[in-house]
Amino acid sequence: MEEYDVITIGAGGAAYPAAFRLKRSGYSVLMIDKKGVMSGNCLAEGCVPSKAVIETVHTMTKMRHFENVYIDYGKIVDHKDEVQNIRYKQHDEELKEAGLTIIKGTARLIDENTVEVKTDTGSTRYRARSIIIASGSDTFVPKIPGSDLAWTSADLYKLNAKIRKLPRSIAIIGGGYIGMETASFMSLMGVKVTVIEMLERVFSNMDRSMVDKLLPLLPEMNIKTSSPVQSIEKHGDVYRVNFGQADDIKYVDVDAVLMAVGRVPVFPEGIEDLGIEHDRHGIKVNMAMQTNIKNIYATGDVNGITPLFHAAKRQSLVAANNIMANNVPTDYFDPLSVPFTVYTIPQMAYVGILPSQAEKMGIEYMEADYQIEKDSMAQINNEMYGEIRIFTDKRMKIIGGYVIGNDAGNVINEIALAVSKGLSLRDLAEMAHQHPMTFEGLDSAARKLY
C-alpha cells in the first residue's frame, strides 16, 4: 500500500493551502477530490463566479449615474466563464510547480490511517500518518413539492452555465446572503424580484441593528417574511410558488425560481464507523482543527464553523502547522476575527462581536461611527450612503465592527486585523489612512472617542 505523510479528502480552499505548505516543508502529500481539480466549490460554483457576475453589475450600476447602461447578461456570463477558466489554468500550473498530485475519485475512511479511493478504474487504498477531511458542503434542497423545478446557485454560477438570459421575474426562496446577493444584482438588471423567507426577517443570523441599516439601501425587491414555502407548481411557462401558514396560503407567479436556503456539510463515508464526532452542522473539531481522533483534522465547510473560503484557508494552514508539530496543537483558529462580506449592492461587511452578541454575552461596549455620505471616495463613486461602525470594550480594545456601502468588503479587513491582534481604537486613530479612500473613515470614527 502506498504511504504518505498526509492525505487530504477534497482539494478546495480547506485542503490545498495545507498541501502546499506541507509539501514545501518536505512532507509527502496526496490530495483526493471528486472533481479532480484544485479549488473546490468556491471556483466551481461559489464565491469567484458569483462575484464575477455581481461585480460587473455593480460597475454597470455606477455607470448609470451618467447614462442608462445595460450589459447583456450573456456577456456577463461569458466574463464569469473566462475568469473561471483563467483560474483553473493558473491552479493547474501552481499544482505542477509544487509537485503535488490530485487523484480524481471519491475517498472513504477505512481506519485512522487508511483511505480508500474509488475511481473510474477501481478502488485503491492509501495509508497516511495524518488525514485532513476537507470535503466541503453542498447546496441544501428542502423536500418541498416541486423543489426540483427551482434553480440552485450552481445553475447560475457553474462553468459554462446554461442560464445566459435572465427571467422577467423570479422568486428567490431564502433570505440569506446567497439569496439576497442574487436578488440585488437581478433587481438592478431589471428582473422583478420576490424574496420569500421562512423566518421573521432576512439575514436572520446577522446582527439586526446592522441589517436594518442595509435594507433601505438595497435595490427594489419584494421581501416576504414569516413565509415558509409550501410548494412550487408549473403551469405552462409560469411557476407558482405557494407560501405562508397553512390557514393563510398566498402565492406568487413568476418566470423562474431560485432555491437559496443554505448549504449542508458533505461527509466522506466511513466517519460513522470510525466514530468521528459530528452532527448535521458539521464534524466536531477543536480550534487546532483536530477531530476527536487526533491525527484526523476537519477543515473548512465540513466543520460548519465559518463556511467561507478565507476561513477554510486559515483553518487549512492551522491543520498543517499542527501536523508539522506531530499533532500536538501549536496553532489555533480564531473564528471571531474572520470577516464576512455580503456582496449585495451595496455591500455589507462585518467582523467580531456586534451589539446583539455583546448584549447576549453581557459585554459593555462603546461605539464609534463614520457616515459614508461624508466620504470623499464614496462621493467620487456616487455611493454616498451607509456607515462604518466600530465596537470596543471598556478598555477601548476593538471587539468588532461593520461597514455598509462603498468598498465595505475591503474596509472590513482592517477592523478584522484589529480584532485579531487586539488593537485599540487609539491604534486606528493614530494611523494616517490614505486619502481619498473609504479607509480614512476608520480613523475619523476612532477619533470621535480620542
Instruction: Return residues touching ligand ADP (CB under 6 A).
Output: 9-15, 32-35, 40-42, 106-107, 134-137, 266, 268, 300-302, 309, 312
Q: Which of 8, 4, 5, 3 is nearest to 289 (CA)?
A: 8
Distance, in Å, from the CA atom of 381 to the CA atom of 410, rounded to the nearest integer, reads: 15
Report DSSP letters for 293-324, one per residue.
STTEEE-GGGG-SS-SHHHHHHHHHHHHHHHH
- Residue 394: φ, ψ to 5°: -65, -20
Complex with ligand ADP: residue 41 or 347, whichever CB lies closer: 41
User: CB 13 → ligand ADP: shortest distance, Å?
Assistant: 4
Distance, in Å, from the CA atom of 240 to the CA atom of 53, rounded to the nearest integer, reads: 27
Provide the grid cell at 410. Answer: 475591503
Distance, in Å, from the CA atom of 153 to the CA atom of 54, rounded to the nearest integer, reads: 13
Distance, in Å, from the CA atom of 245 to the CA atom of 75, rounded to the nearest integer, reads: 41
Distance, in Å, from the CA atom of 437 to the CA atom of 178, rounded to the nearest integer, reads: 28
Contact 115, 8 (CB under 8 A): no
Complex with ligand ADP: residue 45 or 197, whichever CB lies closer: 45
Complex with ligand ADP: residue 107 or 446, whichever CB lies closer: 107
User: CB 306 → ligand ADP: shortest distance, Å?
Assistant: 10
Look at the block and give the residue holding cell 471598556.
394
Complex with ligand ADP: residue 136 or 400, whichever CB lies closer: 136
Complex with ligand ADP: residue 92 or 212, whichever CB lies closer: 92
- Look at the alpha carbons of 114, 117, 118, 124 in this order and tell me if their dihedral is positive or negative: negative
Distance, in Å, from the CA atom of 189 to the CA atom of 72, rounded to the nearest integer, reads: 9
Q: At what angle do helices 16-24 and 309-324 cross, to 10 degrees?
A: 30
Provide the grid cell at 289. Answer: 482543527
Complex with ligand ADP: residue 43 or 423, whichever CB lies closer: 43
- Residue 125 carries which DSSP code? E
User: CB 330 → ligand ADP: shortest distance, Å?
Assistant: 22
Distance, in Å, from the CA atom of 309 to the CA atom of 138, rounded to the nearest integer, reads: 14
Complex with ligand ADP: residue 171 or 285, whichever CB lies closer: 285
Complex with ligand ADP: residue 13 or 386, whichever CB lies closer: 13
User: CB 268 → ligand ADP: shortest distance, Å?
Assistant: 4
User: CB 315 → ligand ADP: shortest distance, Å?
Assistant: 8
Interacting residues of 197 by C-beta distance below 8 A, sequence separation 6+ = 174, 175, 179, 204, 223, 224, 225, 226, 227
Q: Which of 105, 96, 137 is nearest to 7 (CA)?
A: 105
Provide the grid cell at 24. Answer: 514545501
Give 74's Cβ-side CA count (13 Å radius): 1
Complex with ligand ADP: residue 8 or 184, whichever CB lies closer: 8
Bridge partners for 137 per DSSP: 265
Distance, in Å, from the CA atom of 134 to the CA atom of 282, rounded to the nearest integer, reads: 11
User: CB 105 → ligand ADP: shortest distance, Å?
Assistant: 7
Using CA atoms in the order 13, 14, 18, 19, what is the torsion angle rounded to 10 degrees? -70
Complex with ligand ADP: residue 300 or 346, whichever CB lies closer: 300
Complex with ligand ADP: residue 9 or 319, whichever CB lies closer: 9
Complex with ligand ADP: residue 169 or 306, whichever CB lies closer: 306
